[in-house]
């Protein structure tokens, strides 16, 4: 089996490197061959769409052996077909054909790089190599030689694909890195893998978020064009349909990358000891002060640990990167450092720089929130609220800005005592409760915190309600700097 697989790999590599066009004839050398190929493609598509994978496997074999360049869907859909067939064979308790199972697995692994060989315009070599490694580990993981080769393939794939690496490939690569670390007691395997993941997955999320936000602007533009008569309804519907499809894909990708990030962070946690990381990186930092790519990867790791963030090395890396290649992330980290030192003016300067350099609204939410926090501490409530609302606008799922606003409303009680601003002082608690409710609605994970804050709000006595001719459920306007409508409780 191993020899067969290695032979297949060698064939694929040869095909990749030797010929620009691996198929002299796309459908066949003769008219008869072309007709036969077209017939087999039709049969494969028909059986595949009906999920008759056993039947589809016959024309699949003909196509990949005779006219593999004819249709990219043969490999695209063949991937699903082959894995379904492998899983079906593996589930059999009796009459399991081991030789057939091995052939199916070999074919599934081979097909990943073969896809990139015959259809490079649709499937890159790096992507194919990543999935080849994925399936090798999944179905041949007990073989150390193949497992070690898969690990090298993962690294090559990731460095070729970078932020285009698929979440499932990241997870398999990282799990194998953890396995090798446990096997060899060498933590560099898992640290190197996590370095790559930290850099490239962040880039993947940002690029998808950029595309998503751009699509939202295009939605608004299309609405305006339709309203102004600059575009017809048919063209509008077609454009909207495409945008909906694109945005759905982006949202799914962002969600998938975030989920795998959580898995990787949990997997890395046992190795994220600050003292160990600082010791490991000390020499590496001295050797890499001019290597911005290495410094960025180190920053990604060090920023995860509080002890590392407090180190001089972390500060030095930030300053080197900020001077050589300013970015939103570095400016934000510098702002957080100054914030923790209570150097608020410097912190605000860095946060404003981060807002300017960040490329997505979602990234800008955090620096806006920190600015709002600083202004709140300084008692600059109106400005703080404006920046908090900017943070919430940039990230509609960000609930903390509303908690901050609620806290400021609560703390404004003294401004309204004795009828100041023509408002009963206790009304600020109703307005604060509104913001805690809003925070919980946009981010359910804050439910417990919001509940505690609501329960801590003093209740308004019935006497005050009677004196001001107020009834529970009635609308009430809170003036002054708050200047919002709320509901009498």
DSSP code for 460: P
Nearest to 180 by CA among 280, 296, 271: 271
> What is 274-425's CATH number?
1.25.40.10
CA atoms within 13 A on the CB side of 207: 12
pLDDT at res. 5: 42
- pLDDT at 415 > cutoff 70: yes
pLDDT digits (tens, 9 = 90+) for 344-397: 999 999 999 999 999 999 999 999 999 999 999 999 999 999 999 999 999 999
- Confidence band, pLDDT 50/70/90 cuts, at residue 418: low
Tokens in use for 322? 């900020």
Between residues 137 and 22, the one the model is more confident about: 137
- pLDDT at 427 > cutoff 80: yes
pLDDT at res. 2: 42
Query: Domains of the chain: which residue ranges?
Result: 1-123, 126-271, 274-425, 426-489
pLDDT digits (tens, 9 = 90+) for 299-319: 999 998 999 999 999 999 999
pLDDT at res. 437: 98
The pTM of the full predicted model, rounded to 2 decimals, is: 0.83
Percentage of residues in the chain having pLDDT higher than 70: 95
Answer yes or no: are the C-beta atoms of 271 and 187 closer than 8 Å: yes
Answer yes or no: are the C-beta atoms of 314 and 302 closer than 8 Å: yes
Nearest to 136 by CA among 123, 124, 147, 125: 147
Answer yes or no: are the C-beta atoms of 398 and 365 closer than 8 Å: yes
Answer yes or no: are the C-beta atoms of 132 and 115 closer than 8 Å: no
């Amino acid at each position: 089996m191993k020899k067969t697989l290695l032979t297949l790999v060698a064939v694929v590599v040869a095909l990749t490197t030797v010929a620009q066009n691996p198929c002299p004839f796309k459908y066949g050398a003769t008219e008869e061959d072309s007709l036969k190929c077209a017939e087999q493609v039709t049969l494969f598509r028909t059986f595949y769409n009906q999920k008759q994978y056993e039947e589809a496997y016959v024309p699949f074999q003909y196509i990949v052996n005779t006219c593999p360049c004819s249709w990219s869907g043969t490999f695209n859909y063949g991937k699903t077909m082959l894995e379904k067939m492998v899983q079906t064979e593996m589930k059999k308790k009796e009459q399991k054909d081991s030789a057939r199972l091995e052939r199916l697995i070999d074919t599934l692994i081979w097909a990943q790089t073969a896809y990139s060989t015959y259809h490079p315009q649709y499937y890159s070599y790096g992507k194919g190599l990543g999935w080849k490694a994925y399936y090798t580990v999944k179905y041949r993981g007990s073989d150390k030689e193949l497992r070690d080769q898969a690990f090298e393939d993962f690294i090559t794939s990731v460095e070729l694909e970078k932020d285009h690496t698929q979440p499932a490939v990241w997870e398999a690569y990282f799990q194998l890195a953890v396995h090798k670390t446990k096997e060899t007691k060498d933590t560099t395997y898992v640290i190197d893998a996590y370095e790559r993941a930290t850099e490239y997955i962040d880039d993947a999320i940002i690029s998808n978020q950029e595309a998503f936000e751009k699509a939202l602007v295009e939605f608004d533009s299309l609405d305006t064009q339709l309203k102004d008569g600059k575009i017809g309804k048919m063209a509008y519907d077609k454009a909207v349909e495409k945008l909906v499809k694109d945005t759905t894909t982006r949202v799914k990708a962002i969600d998938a990358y975030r989920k795998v990030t959580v898995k990787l962070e949990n997997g890395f946690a046992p190795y994220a000891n600050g003292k160990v990381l600082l010791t490991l990186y000390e020499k590496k930092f001295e050797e890499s002060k001019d290597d911005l790519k290495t410094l960025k990867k180190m920053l990604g790791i060090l920023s995860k640990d509080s002890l590392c963030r407090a180190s001089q090395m972390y500060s030095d890396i930030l300053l080197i990167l900020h001077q050589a290649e300013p970015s939103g992330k570095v400016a934000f980290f510098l702002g957080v450092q100054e914030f923790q030192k209570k150097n608020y003016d410097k912190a605000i300067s860095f946060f404003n720089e981060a807002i300017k350099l960040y490329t997505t609204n979602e990234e800008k939410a955090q620096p806006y929130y920190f600015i709002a926090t600083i202004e709140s501490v300084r008692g600059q409530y109106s400005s703080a609220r404006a920046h908090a609302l900017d943070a919430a606008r940039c990230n509609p799922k960000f609930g903390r800005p509303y908690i901050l606003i609620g806290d400021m409303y609560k703390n404004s009680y003294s401004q309204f005592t004795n009828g100041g601003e023509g408002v009963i002082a206790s009304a600020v608690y109703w307005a604060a409760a509104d913001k805690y409710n809003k925070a919980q609605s946009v981010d359910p994970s804050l439910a417990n915190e919001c509940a505690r804050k609501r329960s801590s709000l003093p209740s308004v006595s019935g006497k005050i309600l009677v004196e001001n001719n107020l009834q529970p459920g009635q609308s009430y306007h809170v003036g002054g700097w708050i200047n919002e409508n709320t509901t009498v409780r």
